[in-house]
Amino acid sequence: MEFAERFRDRVDDRVVSVARVMIHGLEAIHPVRFDGLENLPDGPAVLVGNHGLLGYETALFFAHIFDATGRVPRGCADRWFFKVPGLRDVLVRIGGMYGAPDNARRALAAGHLVVCYPGGAREVLKHDSAQRYKLRWERSAGFARVALEAGVPIIPFAAAGVDHTYEIVSRLRGSGQLLMGHDKYDLPLLSGALGPLPSPVPFWFRIGAPIATGGADVESLHRTAWRATQALVDELLAEWVRAESPAPASNVACAF
């Protein structure tokens, strides 16, 4: 519990302002289209969606919500971030927090939008191209339990383009166990547009209709949110592919 209590909601407006400028610089590589913002409530809610390869699209997602609403979303981050000094301190100052249920409850009680990626590292560190845009939530029902207890809606969101940044070649077996104690953290072997650089593809985001939590149970709520989010991802991805038809990345390989 030490990390969970230490790295709670500690947003610093000055750090957010600096980070916002830097984050928007990513749009030179990944122009953003964002729709569905009208589905965000004025009060608290739990937002759940798909994580892209390497997960750095999260910064743009947060920045655009802040631009549109003036609210800094609070993100439940994977525990490995908090093993990295410096990174963890910046993270909590721009809206991240240790992904513990009690931290999410506190943020919701304070009226914030809480963002969860139930697929976590399994979606960030994809090991096979067949895993692209597939939600891996089977072990993650905590978001549904927290939303149900807090009596707040669950809002699905989708991201497209975020798994087209690299081609997935393979994975470095054993690296996750060595570095983080679990094979879900095995590093993917990737090929980018220019070695380690991602393909310059647009990122599209869409926020879906809220899912009411009243009268539900955790299992059915988890299932409903999972299905609604996957349907939203499939819909947005189909539109993105039709509009963009991105060229495949080159075969220059690199490991992350």
Give per-residue pLDDT as tens, 235-256.
Answer: 999 999 999 874 554 444 444 4
The answer as to whether 190 is a domain residue is no
3-state helix, strand, coil in the chain (%, to 5): 45, 20, 35
Q: Which long-range contacts (CB under 8 A, 24 or more apart) does 77-83 make?
A: 78/120, 78/121, 78/124, 79/3, 80/121, 80/180, 80/185, 82/3, 82/7, 83/180
pTM of the model: 0.88
* Mean pLDDT for back-to-back runs of 10 residues, the chain (256 residues): 70 92 95 97 98 94 96 89 78 89 95 95 86 92 96 98 86 62 67 80 98 93 97 98 69 44
The answer as to whether 216 is a domain residue is yes
Q: What is the CATH number for 213?
A: 3.40.1130
Q: Which domain, by its residues, includes 210?
A: 2-165+200-246
Domain count, the chain: 1
Summarised one tens digit per residue, pLDDT across range 83-134 is 777 788 888 899 999 888 999 999 999 999 999 999 988 898 888 889 999 9
The answer as to whether 175 is a domain residue is no
The answer as to whether 194 is a domain residue is no
The answer as to whether 47 is a domain residue is yes
The answer as to whether 255 is a domain residue is no
Give the span between the Cα atoms of 195 and 124, in whole angstroms.
19
On the 0-12 / 13-18 / 19+ scale of CB atoms within 10 A, 217 is exposed
The answer as to whether 187 is a domain residue is no
